[in-house]
Amino acid sequence: MKINLLKKYPIALLSIFILSGCKTSKPEKVNADYLITNGKVFIGNNVDAQDLDVAICQSTICAVSKPGEMQIKAIRTIDANGLIVSPGFIDPHTHTLDELLSVDKNANVNYLTQGVTTVINGNDGGGPTDINALAKKLTNNGIGTNVALYVGHNSVRNQVMGRENRFATTDEIAQMKTIVDLAMQDGALGLSSGLYYVPGSYASTEEVVALTTIVGKYHGVYDTHLRDESTFNIGFLNALSEAINIAKQANTHLHVAHIKALGVDVWGQSTQAINKIEAAQKAGVSISADQYPWLASGTKLHSAIMPKWVMADSKDAFYQRLNDPKLTSKLTAEIAENIRKRGGAKSLLITAFSDHSLVGKTLEQLARELNLPPELAAMELVQRGDIRIASFNMSANDLESFIIKPWVVTSSDGTNGHPRKYASFPKKYQTYVKQQKKLSLKTFIAQSSSKTANYLNITDRGLIKEGLAADIIIWDENGYAPKANFSEWNKHSVGMRTVFVNGQIVLEQGKYNHKLAGEFVKKALENNN
């Protein structure tokens, strides 16, 4: 017996006919500048690689589709066969303003060769107070990577009350709040603090809360170099509690800069720090952190081991105190203790200074040459100028405990003399993805792109997604590697084949092609009021 299927199942068959019609309809047409095809595409959201075509129209990603789903006609097609295609990396903590404002290093090639297409500046409390003026200066100069900016607490405080070693008055806090508010209106990501550094170290918690509350109004970020990462003043865990309380009171997101347990006194405290952060997250405080994959930190010699009280006011006042015989006993005792906390004079390596004869030597070696105890040698050396050091002060166990946490993203904190400026992202990849397998490839990519963008409220990049800025990197998963080390800190990394910044190819076959395609990444203006 024949059954009339159309009468028996009219809705079902009609649906099949409609769906069949959809499947046989012509794919959407896209006219693009570039088509990237045949690559292992990681869109950046911590999922596995996919077989996708990616089209770029001017500065924007205009199509992401499976091969054949869309008709994409491109001026140029890039065959990424055997290569990874991912979002450009975002570095949430750099010190690249000097380079970006220069006439010869503004391409930021040492970051492009790591795959970094956006750098954040103004960290550690040292950010500008006039965001709009600096943004215009950067874009007029031409920059090789995108840049976003924090307004810096230390800079704001210095503008209002200098380097005075005291709490701010009510009127001074009001002045500082006005500066921060204008900075947020001009597109700052948020407020950065460096409560370990002068003059931020002189500020009360209440002062920082007052300024961070302004940031919270604009859904901004409170980025902090903790008041203490060791036992220099209130202690690592107490400093972390202070930061959490600031964010909670100000109702804003907390981002802990270059999270670490610095020095022998706090080795092993990563476990307690992680528990503290995750307990606060469960209680409703929004928290993230960044980390560079090195066991040595980097800073200036005076910042590392000089007591904060001796650096108050002016440089002349600082030097006068260093040379005051009445203070010598107190100074040498405190400096010796600070050297001990960092692992001893042998752990402090001079990495950058105008007198190149000092570079590559430890404080222990220089003390012998000067025929002085390390603490007296340090007092003499800091008066010669800003000497940069690498301080070998972290344990591998602590570093690894932090690096696997889902709320920790990749950063460099790049400074002259330290290989982190040239090699942090490939160092993390080679050591913790390829060798130790602490992280998967998809997680490394997400920690270096979309998660960073999400934590910092950067909404127009960080993913390979239609409508977002075309910051895309094509790289060799077997060849992507660091070349810089502590002996040769400024060697470019390898393995990046092609780098797009805002839809322009700036790195091709691993070589910079002299295009300055970077832009100022301005935070969208949001105000709860």
Q: Stretch 496-512: mean pLDDT, rounded? A: 98
Q: Stretch 314-335: mean pLDDT, rounded? A: 94
* pLDDT recorded at residue 28: 80
Q: Tell me if domain 5-82 and domain 88-295+394-459 are identical in fold.
A: no
Task: Look at the alpha carbons of 97, 101, 103, 107 in this order and tell me if their dihedral is positive or negative.
Answer: positive
Q: Stretch 474-487: mean pLDDT, rounded? A: 96
Scanning the structure block, which residue is given the tokens 């209002």?
A: 160
365-378 per-position pLDDT tens digit? 999 999 999 999 99
Mean pLDDT value across the chain: 93
How many CB atoms within 10 Å of residue 458? 23
Identify residue 368 by its one-letter amino acid code.
Answer: R
Q: Stretch 134-156: mean pLDDT, rounded? A: 98
* pTM score, whole prediction: 0.91
Task: Note whether 236 and 229 are within 8 A (CB).
Answer: yes
Q: At 526, is the pLDDT very low, low, confident or very high (cuts 50, 70, 90)?
A: low
Planar angle of CA 236, 240, 244, nearest 5 degrees: 170
* pLDDT recorded at residue 10: 42
Instruction: Write the DSSP string, 298-349.
Output: EEEHHHHHS-GGGG-S-HHHHHHHHT-GGGHHHHHHHHHHHHHHTT-GGGEE
* pLDDT recorded at residue 11: 39
Q: Stretch 379-396: mean pLDDT, rounded? A: 93
SS (H, E, C) 382-396: HHHCCCEEEEECCCH
Percent of the chain whose pLDDT exceeds 70:
94
Q: At 17, is the pLDDT very low, low, confident or very high (cuts 50, 70, 90)?
A: very low
* pLDDT recorded at residue 523: 85
Return the CA Rg of the chain: 26
Question: 270-282 vs 396-403: helix axis angle to the nearest 10?
Answer: 20
- In 3-state terms, what secondary structure has residue 22? helix
* pLDDT recorded at residue 528: 45
Q: What single-letter DSSP state applies at residue 494?
A: B
Q: Which fold has domain 5-82?
A: Urease, subunit C; domain 1 (2.30.40)
Domain 88-295+394-459 has CATH 2.60.120.200: no
Q: At 24, is the pLDDT very low, low, confident or very high (cuts 50, 70, 90)?
A: very low
Query: H helices within 142-286, ranges in order?
Result: 153-161, 170-185, 205-217, 236-250, 270-282
Long-range CB pairs of 329-337 (<8 Å, 24+ gap) are 331/307, 331/375, 331/379, 332/373, 332/375, 332/376, 332/379, 334/307, 335/305, 335/306, 335/307, 335/375, 335/378, 335/379, 336/373, 336/374, 336/375
How many CB atoms within 10 Å of residue 139? 15
* Side-chain half-sphere exposure of 35, counting CA atoms within 13 A: 20
198-252 per-position pLDDT tens digit? 999 999 999 999 999 999 999 999 999 999 999 999 999 999 999 999 999 999 9
d(CA 313, CA 293): 35
Query: Quick check: 15 pLDDT over 70?
Result: no
Q: Stretch 263-287: mean pLDDT, rounded? A: 97
Query: Quick check: 147 pLDDT over 50?
Result: yes
Q: Give the residue from 200, 61, 21, 78 showing the smallest Cα distance to 498.
A: 78
- The torsion angle over the Cα atoms of residues 87, 499, 493 and 262, rounded to 10 degrees, is -30
Kindly list the domain boundaries of the chain, sorted by start residue: 5-82, 88-295+394-459, 306-392
117-137 per-position pLDDT tens digit? 999 999 999 999 999 999 999
Q: Stretch 490-497: mean pLDDT, rounded? A: 98
- Compute φ and ψ for 520, nearest 5 degrees: -80, 120
Q: At 4, is the pLDDT very low, low, confident or very high (cuts 50, 70, 90)?
A: very low
* pLDDT recorded at residue 27: 61
